[in-house]
Amino acid sequence: MTKPVIAVLGLGTMGLGLAQLYAQAGHRMIAFDAMPAARDSAKARLTQSLEPRVTAGKLTEAARDAILNNITITDDLAALKDARLVIEAVIEDLGVKQALFAEVERHVGPDAVLATNTSSLSVAAIMARLAHPARGLGLHFFNPAPVMKLVELVVPPLASSDAVDLARSITTAAGKTVIACSDSPGFIVNRCARPYYGEALAMLEEGRSASDIDAAMLKAGYRLGPFGLIDLIGADINLAATRGLSQAMNGHPRYHVFAALQKQVDHGHLGRKSGQGFLHPATPGEAPADGAEIALRIEATLANEAAVLAQESGLAPDDIDTALKLGLNFPRGPFESARAHGADRILATLTAREAAAPAHLKGRYTASPALAHLIGA
């Protein structure tokens, strides 16, 4: 059976990764970019990224060539006429995305599904100008797309079940774990991850060192501590995500934008890409004597945020746990961590933190009414 044709819009790192992902799953790919330099270099960049796997014997030369041959680069949106699924991976600008999809819709068939890879914008807003908004949804991949297993399937209110089913089946068949979620700020991972960074920044504000905090989380089994993760992602990217969520959530203190993060960006200390970050180029030292309490505090706030999201959206706790493990390489999901600590310790930790919170963080630690039940579920 012939597999559906898939199109990718944008040939930056994410778009090229998506072209590779579906091409290696056997789909014929149409890859569009408005910039000649991106189009002209796409095949060479993809070849270069595949070469280490060929050298290591993980990919044959024939398989590499098949991937490359499955991808057609174009500057003409009319070439998308046979695509059943179109995935946009251009800049995070609402107007740009809306205009692009409005143009794309003129060239695709009536049953084509249009998906955005946005990580921060409302999917419904992106699709608002479509003549047929039922075909629009979100497919949020994590970088690098060919490697990271999680895909958040974002379902806006007008999306049809047929569009959702097609996007899910094609992406699952390509080897991804697809978890559906509502079109709410931060979706699953970007929202539920905020306390991992935010609580570390709260402790930094209290006088704890970035080294102590990261070392505590490494000892608790995390691959990267909060500051190591900010340094990897980039303080500017983390700040933009935190600001966006804070605005979307009407400035709730759970999404407080900490001055230390703003200061890093103001000083150009963005992490690995600038050469200096909260910790980079240094590494964490030994875990402090109270490292377990640091980990408990962060994991309590992670569980509380996850419980708020579960209560709002109806997402299953297991799906949230899976998303955090696959999307951020966490060793445990927030509900798994909370169950290991026990509901009493989690709730006592949140109560103590709320009592001690400074004025600008009051309300940050108020426990979700659903938390105790979900930990015990």
Query: CA 176, CA 150: separation in Å to the nearest integer?
Result: 6
63-74, pLDDT tens digit by residue?
999 999 999 999
Whether the CA torsion 249, 255, 258, 262 is positive or negative: it is: negative
Out of 119, 238, 246, 304, which one is annotated catalytic?
Answer: 119
Supply the pLDDT for residue 128: 96
Query: CA 64, CA 205: separation in Å to the nearest integer?
Result: 50
Percentage of the chain exceeding pLDDT 90? 98
As beta bridge partners, residue 113 has 85
Of 188, 201, 214, 168, nearest in space to 328 by CA? 188
In this prediction, residues 91-110 reach a mean pLDDT of 96
Of 123, 120, 119, 118, nearest in space to 133 by CA? 123
Of 190, 129, 130, nearest in space to 154 by CA? 190
Supply the pLDDT for residue 368: 96
Task: Tell me if residue 190 is catalytic.
Answer: yes
Out of 27, 140, 280, 341, which one is annotated catalytic?
Answer: 140
For residues 168-190, one letter each, b for 16 or more C-beta atoms within 10 angstroms of the residue's C-beta and e for the rest, the string is bebbeebebbbbbbbbbbbbbbb
Of 234, 129, 268, 255, nearest in space to 190 by CA? 255
284-317, pLDDT tens digit by residue?
999 999 999 999 999 999 999 999 999 999 999 9
Residue 262 C-alpha from the chain's centroid: 21
Out of 88, 105, 152, 299, which one is annotated catalytic?
Answer: 152
Q: Would you say 208 and 227 are in contact if contact means Cβ atoms under 8 Å apart?
A: no
Task: Tell me if residue 313 is catalytic.
Answer: no
Of 88, 92, 68, nearest in space to 77 by CA? 88
Give me the CATH code for the 191-376 domain, please: 1.10.1040.50
Q: Is the pLDDT of residue 377 over 70?
A: no
Supply the pLDDT for residue 376: 79
Start-to-end CA distance of the chain, whole Å, equals 43
164-210, pLDDT tens digit by residue?
999 999 999 999 999 999 999 999 999 999 999 999 999 999 999 99
Burial category of 276 from C-beta neighbours within 10 Å (exposed 0-12, middle 13-18, buried 19 and up): middle
DSSP assignment string, 318-375: HHHHHHHHHHH--SS-HHHHHHHH-HHHHHHHHHHHHHH--GGGTTTTPPPTTHHHHH
Cβ neighbours for 281, distance < 8 A, ≥ 6 positions apart:
275
Q: Is the pLDDT of residue 364 over 80?
A: yes
Task: Tell me if residue 70 is catalytic.
Answer: no
Out of 70, 122, 190, 211, which one is annotated catalytic?
Answer: 190
Supply the pLDDT for residue 72: 97
Supply the pLDDT for residue 54: 95
- Rounded-to-10 torsion of CA 141, 326, 272, 235: 70
Query: CA 259, CA 39: separation in Å to the nearest integer?
Result: 40
Q: Would you say 104 and 77 are in contact if contact means Cβ atoms under 8 Å apart?
A: yes
Query: CA 267, CA 277: separation in Å to the nearest integer?
Result: 10
Domains of the chain by residue range: 5-182, 191-376
Supply the pLDDT for residue 2: 87
DSSP assignment string, 2-57: PPPEEEEE--SHHHHHHHHHHHHTT--EEEE-S-HHHHHHHHHHHHHHHHHHHHTT
- Rounded-to-10 torsion of CA 368, 369, 375, 377: -140
Question: Does domain 5-182 match CATH 3.30.590.20?
Answer: no
- Containing 154, the helix (H) or strand (E) segment is strand 150-155
What single letter denotes the amino acid at residue 72?
Answer: T
Of 18, 53, 319, nearest in space to 174 by CA? 18
Whether the CA torsion 316, 319, 323, 324 is positive or negative: it is: positive
